A = this chain, B = another copy of it.
């Protein structure tokens, strides 16, 4: 997976968190995902599918980061993972892939997005049926960390 296809997801994540949740995030060095488990406590997943494109975007938050982000996003103080937090992860996943969609189209990746799915629990066994590498990008915020796992390929 070319770095050109990773940057739109990074840019979109920084932009969504800044505008929707007044959260400044910093991205670290992308690396290959080598395990088959969820990284954080709440994980959002969205399928990306086009006539010639197939992939998934996965975003996984540790508990402190998502509590801070959703508290600011919804203007309410969340102290633990609730249905509202989980649904907000789905919304954030949808917004980040939506933000990356336009830029990826200019790279020849045209796709639509499926319904977001949210998985709770750290180290849940989750894998993808793909020969394409999955790129893992770490992010930091003032409160905690999250990870984006992106895989997109021509089919």
Contact = CB atoms under 8 A, between A and B. Distances in A.
Given A48-B49, A54-B112, A113-B49, A119 B124 contact: yes
Given A53-B112, A114-B114, A115-B128, 7 more contacts: A47-B49, A47-B117, A48-B114, A49-B49, A49-B114, A115-B151, A116-B128
Interface stretch (A11-19, A25-33, A66-74, A85-93): A85-93
B54 A117 contact: no
The SS class assigned to the A binding surface is strand
Nearest to A151: B115
Given A49-B112, A54-B114, A151-B115, A121 B125 contact: yes
B48 A113 contact: no
A88 to B, nearest CB: 9
Interface string A116-155: 1111110011111110100000000000000000010000
B116 A129 contact: yes
Interface residues of A, number: 36
Nearest to A37: B120
A55 interface: yes
A53 to B, nearest CB: 8
A65 interface: no
A94 interface: yes
A6 interface: no
